[in-house]
Structure 1
């Protein structure tokens, strides 16, 4: 994946995308878990709740059903991309911890105040972050903390978030955490620090209209 694209994925923590339902047959090696990161489970229920947060925020941000349907139609794979973001958040936190990087609440609030000024107020920032990055209002401070962690980690490494040294640190953290995804959501590429689609013909995505497509 292109470095700039992976940086965008990191800093957004989620991607504006659709939320297909997943159905599967056959054995499940991760019952109830969407992923295991550092021995800690990200449950399917937690993932679904995060997706619902984004959808609820998008529903509240538009005036009618047609606008909401358009917002959904213009996006792609929120469930899998949200899981990518949830895993990557933990990988970043581990890399920051390894490097001795911390972020306090005051730093987050200063960053938010500056962004709100640029966006014309708190509401403007919330709408902008939702539309551009798929981050619902209740996750905004959390996302800004991650952005600050990424910036400070890169600075500690003497680089920036687009450079190989930064991603090498995340790759190392991925390996330490032994990231393991439920196969229905793909797999985790340690070197790319990214979720990749797996070839699982028994997985189907069920869209809102009820039609099935290959994952």
Structure 2
């Protein structure tokens, strides 16, 4: 399977290094919330459920104890990565809405069918998405919907993701959406950088390149 990261989930080292920090600092005004996005809470319980789904899927996919421990080690930052994904998905959804972009069930089904064909079937695709992106099988369609939304947003913006200018245009749209949603993270998970539309650690180093849409390649 392909080695690229999910389009909307990761930040390039160049963008992380270059963009100024404009963080929306978290506070304790929302007890029990891992984050508040557009006035809606992402609860700690919801976050833990998503993380547990991935751990359960990893356990089922790797019955060998040593291999399972290796999978756990490779995804040591799963909780924070998962929260990053959950928040960024909402930011992307808002940016897509602002651009008049929508994703239909038919879009998702067609995209999934194409990926499954190249992955050697549904199981192969689920395994690849779990291993490469930390997405549990039950969340695969949601992940694909986000992927399609990112690609459609780039197209609507006229952003060529093979160029720095195109990437800047894309991330500017996400930055604008972050500001509108007033993202607020619980301090235990860091804070949200509206300029880069990414979770950042408040003090200690506890941070993923926007790539052009690409088709998976068989191994």
TM-score (norm 1): 0.80
Say if 1:32 and 1:43, in contact at 8 Å, map to a contact too: yes
**Residue 11 (structure 1) aligns with:** 8
| Matched residue count | 182
**Unaligned runs of at least 5 residues, structure 1:** 1-6, 14-26, 204-215
**Residue 181 (structure 1) aligns with:** 185
Pairing 1:1-215 to 2, within 5 Å after superposition? 8=5, 10-12=7-9, 28-161=28-161, 163-199=167-203
**Residue 4 (structure 1) aligns with:** none
SS in structure 2 of the partner of residue 11 of structure 1: coil
How far apart in 2 are the matches of 1:70 and 1:81? Answer: 18
The Cα shift of 1:44 comes to: 0.3
Q: 1:122 to 1:106 in 2, by over 3 A?
A: same
The Cα shift of 1:64 comes to: 1.7
Higher fraction of strand: 1
**Unaligned runs of at least 5 residues, structure 2:** 11-26, 207-219
RMSD of aligned residue pairs (Cα, Å): 1.9
1:59-94: per-residue Cα shift (whole Å, max 9, x none)?
Answer: 000122111111111223111111000000000000
How far apart in 1 are the matches of 2:190 and 2:6? Answer: 17
Say if 2:91 and 2:178, in contact at 8 Å, map to a contact too: yes
